[in-house]
Amino acid sequence: MKIPAHPTEERQRLWALEASGLLDTPPEERFDRITRLAAQLFDVPIALVSLIDKERQWFKSCYGLGVRETARDISFCGHAILGPDLFVVENALEDERFADNPLVTGAPDIRFYAGAPLTDRTGLRLGTLCLIDRTPRAFSAQDRENLRSFADMVEREIQLHDLVADVIHYRKTEQIKNEFISTVSHELRTPLTSIAGSLELVMGGATGPLPDKTEQMLAIARRNTNQLRVLIDDLLDIEKLISGKMVMHNQTQPLAETIQAAIEDIRPYAAPRNISVEAKLPEANICANFDPVRLKQALANLLSNAVKFSPDGETVQVELQERDKQAVMTIKDRGPGIPEEFQPRVFQRFAQADSSSARSKEGTGLGLAITKELMAAMGGDVGFDSEVDQGTVFWVALPLSSEF
């Protein structure tokens, strides 16, 4: 009897098999259906989905066999996973590798064996779909093609199982990450508020006159503290939005007042670079159902980006229109535009076109993600059109409402 060798990638293969989550799981009809049909089509008493573990072959599906595993060193399937092609033994008694094998000389009295390797998404051979008969038989080219087709079906089920496992793992990881961010943000907020308050008192003269150099250093500390506070607020907002814990106070009202308020808030940020913000609003009221504080926050994020990426002395244009039973607010800049390769990731959390440590534009990478979640929470939408070197137009839309 010849003991099967180990594949060259045995360590990776065993890791992938363990990661698949299939070992030692209950029978599943999606696998049993395939072995049952294969046994009927090929007229054999036994059909198995066999997974080759470190010291055993374990059967995820076993049609016609009363055991769930056998030792690997006497397995036919251990030989079958050594190459990509079907492994066929037409008469085990005439094959010196198997003639004295306990599975041949005793139950289940194997005479014929055909095994098709089963691979995962990376091409690692985890096991086989195999056929066993108690009498020798020939296996034609058409038989081989049919068995490979059945094995392909098993592979799809295995890979689907892997994909579902990946999604579950991703969701658990995302939940842990979100909980961590939320906890850290809450823990940072209290001491940061204390630091910011102390800086304001010192710079306001509460401890007496300050030397010019000290005042300059404190001004830098205050600016960085404000940036950190914005980051923490953004982290808390995105966590609340994703978890559905943010309370929205939607009510039907005109949009113009909220748009004007957002513009007025951004003008001090735009003024040092001589960037103007112009609004084109219709005389007649256009109304929608929204939370004015949160819509203003969404618009502020878009306006901030428009100003940030506009050349000095340029104009950011804001417009409100009715379009297809929606109130559409557009914000147009004349900046460099959004690189085409980055556009699919614009609304992802922490996404930035330049993510290097040397990037020239400040920001958390959360503003657009928050805007998207805010608009969804108000029953609206957000999008953009952009061409490199031609600027960008972001838009937010809400269903029109006449109940005002």
What letter represents residue 401's amino acid?
Answer: S
The span from the CA of 47 to the CA of 283, in Å, is 77
The span from the CA of 31 to the CA of 57, in Å, is 16
Please say if the pLDDT value at position 233 is more than 80: no
Q: Using an 8 Å Cβ cutoff, are 23 and 17 in contact?
A: yes
Question: The pTM is what?
Answer: 0.51
- Same structural domain, 118 and 198: no
- Average pLDDT value for residue range 32-60: 96
Position 295 scores a pLDDT of 93
- Same structural domain, 320 and 346: yes
Confidence of residue 355 (pLDDT cuts 50, 70, 90): very low
Position 5 scores a pLDDT of 94
Domains identified in the chain, total number: 3
Residue 404 within a domain: no
* pLDDT averaged over every residue in the chain: 87
Question: In this prediction, what percent of the chain has a pLDDT beyond 70?
Answer: 87
Position 279 scores a pLDDT of 92
- Same structural domain, 157 and 210: no
Q: Using an 8 Å Cβ cutoff, are 312 and 274 in contact?
A: yes
Confidence of residue 356 (pLDDT cuts 50, 70, 90): very low
Indicate which CATH number applies to the domain containing 289: 3.30.565.10
- Same structural domain, 143 and 213: no
- Average pLDDT value for residue range 63-88: 95
Of the candidates 112, 144, 163, which is a domain's last residue?
Answer: 163
Write phi, then psi, for 307 (nearest 5 degrees). -70, -45
Indicate which CATH number applies to the domain containing 30: 3.30.450.40
**Tokens coding 334:** 């004349």
Position 359 scores a pLDDT of 41
- Same structural domain, 238 and 256: no
The span from the CA of 47 to the CA of 60, in Å, is 11
- Average pLDDT value for residue range 261-276: 91
Position 247 scores a pLDDT of 85
Give tens-digit pLDDT for 165-193.
Answer: 666 666 676 666 666 666 666 666 667 67
| Residue 236, domain extent | 169-243
**133-145 burial, b for 16+ CB within 10 Å, e for fewer?**
beeeeebeeebee
Question: In this prediction, what percent of the chain has a pLDDT beyond 90?
Answer: 58
- Same structural domain, 294 and 394: yes
Give tens-digit pLDDT for 357-380.
Answer: 334 455 566 888 889 999 998 999
Residue 4 within a domain: no
* Least confident residue range of 16-20, 49-53, 75-79: 16-20
Confidence of residue 197 (pLDDT cuts 50, 70, 90): confident
Residue 3 within a domain: no
283 or 69, higher pLDDT = 69
- Same structural domain, 197 and 133: no
Confidence of residue 204 (pLDDT cuts 50, 70, 90): confident
The span from the CA of 234 to the CA of 374, in Å, is 12
